[in-house]
A and B are shown apart, each in its own frame.
Chain A
């Protein structure tokens, strides 16, 4: 019962944050200098034209009324119409979501299957005298390599020396899986470098913290092997911060995807939103930013759920995240 009410409170909190985020985004975009009408019609449009346009898009209503209309529609899955392309934003987003989603999933998989083992290994091998320096430097380099630098270099190398993988030329996975993977592997790899390094670092820290716990010493004292101790006592105890990090990274990847999509010319959500910012396309920016925030908030709830399952001490009584 207590568990149930805790989850209800958690879900309500998440919903409240989402509403707060939507208000913030809505107000922020209304505060933009240079109105929509001017952007669309150019500086030389007549008063008449401007008024007509404002009426058509409801720009004359009060802010509250506009927000309310927009919120109602959004709850029904309607995020309005792009003021530039005249296409429904929801359609555009849902056709672009698979691209961004695939990028994020590929990078997260790399983080889990490469970053976690790397982190465990470097932690277990770490010595007081600074032996793990190499791993630490490498992961330090990994989190210091921004996508726009790494991506530019990758684009340059592969387009100049034709290393067998194409840059650009996105094909949906359903149409031709091989061609899709050929187009996606490079951008996903660029995204993965950060994800893998950050995961490896966090895993290493988490494992180092667990290694000094008395129950690990107790297991060593019972004569258990390192592999046994890692499997039975370390992985689960070190998992909570790693799970939280990976959900954070997933949200970050949605942001990183913006740059990678721009660089590799992929038709994802990121490139759509960047274009929309330049054109002051309210509805698109709102929906895109809101989508990113919503994904993050939902992932956070999922992380809380997972952490509660992993560590019986945290499930019900703790407030989930330490805010």
Chain B
């Protein structure tokens, strides 16, 4: 089977009045049909830009300056406007960070879902779609305006809208970042259950390495506009092969044993104005050597992972990167109890 999404050396720049900022600096990524992939990175790592680029949804001051990205063989940045629209309509789905903001404030929920069903939806259809995302009392929700919903309920509506067309790939940009921690897991369960039923792949953009590791089959870690490590979720979490992933795993509260100190990643992520001359992480890396600052690393294979690091093989052999406690095994989608949220 051909991969559904292929990103090859993609570079994207934002043009500000006074300067140019490089958001993606040569991203390589492949997503197979139906695969669940987590993209993990700090703010500014380029993960949101990558997610928007999949649907060519970048702001007008952004432009792709190098590389290619294709969805099921179709080059995204070369598609006609109509072709792009068809691609978004038929094969892609998106969920965004701000659940209430991504619903039209002047339309009732039912009317918006009906629009997303392209006028084919009857009232029972609308109710059925709302039921599928485990919303209690779908008829009442259908009559509500977005501002009358809680964040969790609004995000379920957004999921119902995005999944109504059974997309082949669902891009979820921090879908739970704006939600209370209690409802996060429930919302994620709904996303992964519906995607599994429809056979949709998932590209989940998140800053939470551990959370992504629990749900996704694969994890790609982004730093400075590149994917620095890419491999099976369990492997990446348990035995990181890139110093940045290692630092990230060490800074996560969940990864620390009781009594152990959390290790913050020192320094700040870089703001690139053009192609990075070397490894973007070199400044913050405790293993950096002179070469790291001047030569761009090429992908190397370490065990099951593809890694962008000059010293990856060497570090793996020496065992300098600590092994982390294995994450809890991937949770099977759990049915969510209904009725836990109120307006």
Contacts and interface: CB of A to CB of B under 8 A. Distances in A.
Nearest to A228: B115
A10 interface: no
B196 interface: no
Given A222-B88, A222-B89, A312-B147, A237 B105 contact: yes
Contacts of A310: 106
Nearest to A211: B60
B85 interface: yes
A128 interface: yes
Contact of A215 (B105, B145, B147, B165): B105
A217 interface: yes
A2 interface: no
Size band of the interface chain B makes with A: 20 to 34
B88 A220 contact: yes
Given A127-B60, A218-B96, A223-B89, A236 B158 contact: no
Contacts of A223: 84-90, 92
B161 interface: yes
A213 interface: yes
B127 to A, nearest CB: 20
B274 interface: no
Given A218-B158, A225-B85, A312-B145, A128 B61 contact: yes
A222 B91 CA distance: 10
A219 B15 CA distance: 25
A233 interface: yes
Interface in A77-136: 127-128
A313 B145 contact: yes
B90 A220 contact: no
B161 A217 contact: no
Interface in A187-236: 213-215, 217-225, 232-233, 236
A311 interface: yes
Contacts, number: 72
Nearest to B82: A225
A315 to B, nearest CB: 10
Interface residues of A, number: 22
A210 to B, nearest CB: 10
B86 A128 contact: no
A229 to B, nearest CB: 10
Given A222-B161, A223-B87, A215 B102 contact: yes
B101 A213 contact: yes
B23 interface: no
Interface of A is mostly: helix
Contacts of B107: 232-233, 236
Interface string B139-160: 0000001010000000000100
B106 A221 contact: no
Interface string B96-109: 10100111111100
A232 B115 CA distance: 9
A312 B108 CA distance: 10
Interface in B147-186: 147, 158, 161-162, 165
Nearest to B94: A221
Query: Which of A127, A214, A222 has the most CB atoms of chain B within a 10 A radius of its CB?
Result: A222
Nearest to B115: A232
Interface in A243-268: none
B57 A220 contact: yes
B116 interface: yes
A215 B96 CA distance: 9
Contacts of B104: 215, 219, 232-233, 237
Nearest to B85: A223
Contacts of B96: 214, 217-218
Nearest to A237: B106
B55 interface: yes
Interface string B51-69: 0000101011100000000
B158 to A, nearest CB: 7
B87 to A, nearest CB: 7
A214 B98 contact: yes
B24 to A, nearest CB: 18
A313 B101 contact: no
Contacts of A220: 55, 57, 88
A314 to B, nearest CB: 10
Nearest to B98: A214
Nearest to A223: B89
Contacts of A225: 85
Given A128-B61, A237-B105, A313 B88 contact: no
Given A218-B161, A221-B92, A237-B104, 6 more contacts: A128-B61, A214-B96, A217-B57, A223-B84, A223-B88, A224-B85
Interface of B: 15, 55, 57, 59-61, 84-90, 92-94, 96, 98, 101-107, 115-116, 145, 147, 158, 161-162, 165
12 contacts: A214-B98, A215-B103, A217-B57, A218-B158, A219-B104, A220-B57, A221-B55, A221-B88, A222-B88, A222-B165, A223-B90, A232-B104
Interface of A: 127-128, 213-215, 217-225, 232-233, 236-237, 310-313
9 tightest Cβ-Cβ pairs between the two chains A and B: A223-B89, A223-B88, A221-B94, A214-B101, A128-B60, A214-B102, A218-B102, A128-B61, A236-B106
